[in-house]
Amino acid sequence: MTQRNRVTYLSASWCLSYPDEELLGRIPLVRRALAEFSGLDRPFHDVLQALTTVPLGESQARYVKEFDLSRRHALHLSYWTDGDTRRRGEVLASFKRVYRDSGMLVDLHGELPDYLPMVLEFAATVDLDAGRKLLTDYRASLEMLRLALVDDNLPQAAVVQAVCDSLPGKSPADRQEIMKMAGYGPPTERVGLDAYDPRLLPLAGGQQ
C-alpha cells in the first residue's frame, strides 16, 4: 500500500501540474508505474490521454483558464479554508515548517507551500507520513476541489478522487457532508456567496 500511495501521489502531482514538454516526457513513466497496481491507471486515463492527443499549446491554455484564472478550481489547499485572509499567512508558514522538519531541501518552484501538486510530490518523494497528514488535515479542501471539478466535468476530478480514496474514510457525497467532515454544521450567512467561496468552509480548530 505504501508504494501504491507514492505512485498515486506522484502521478497526481504531475497530472495536476501545468503541462509542458517535461511533463509530456514523463507520461510513459507514469503509465508504467500506474500499470504495476491493479486499476490504478483508470483515474488518470483521461488526463494522460488528453496530454498525449491535444496540442500542447491548447492544453496549456485550458490549464491556465481552469486553474490559474479560476478560483473555482483552486489548487492551494488553504485557499478553501482561509481564502485571502490574514490567517492564511500563518497556515502557509505551517506548511513550510513541515517541509523544513523533513530535513530535505524542498524546492517550491515559486509556488506557495500549500500548492496541491507540491504537497503530493512531497508525500511521494520526501516524507510519506508527513505528506499524508497534510492531505488528511486538508481533506475537506480536497473534497471541495473534487466536487468543483466534477461539476465542471473536468477529467482532473478523477485524479483528485484517487488521492481522496487513498486517505482514511469515504468521500462525502455533497458539500453539506464536507462541512460535517470539517467539524461544522450547516454554513451560515450564505446569502450572496458563491458556492465555491472559501468562507463556506471555515478552518477546523485543530489545524494549526
pLDDT tens-digit map of 165-175? 999 988 877 77
The pLDDT tens digits for 61-117 are 999 999 998 888 999 999 888 776 677 888 898 999 999 888 776 667 778 899 999
Give the max Cα distance, the chain: 49
Which of 39-53, 101-115, 130-144 is least confident? 101-115
The pLDDT tens digits for 100-116 are 888 776 667 778 899 99
Closest CA to 175 of 147, 202, 199: 147
pLDDT at 185: 40
pLDDT at 83: 72
What average pLDDT score do residues 186-193 get? 37
Q: Who has greater pLDDT, 205 or 37?
A: 37
Go through 47-75 and write b for each residue having 16 or more CB atoms within 10 A of its CB, e for each that does not. Answer: bbebbeeeeeeebeeebeebbeeebbbbb
Q: For the whole model, what pTM was predicted? A: 0.84
Mean pLDDT of the chain: 85
- Residue keyed to cell 491548447: 58
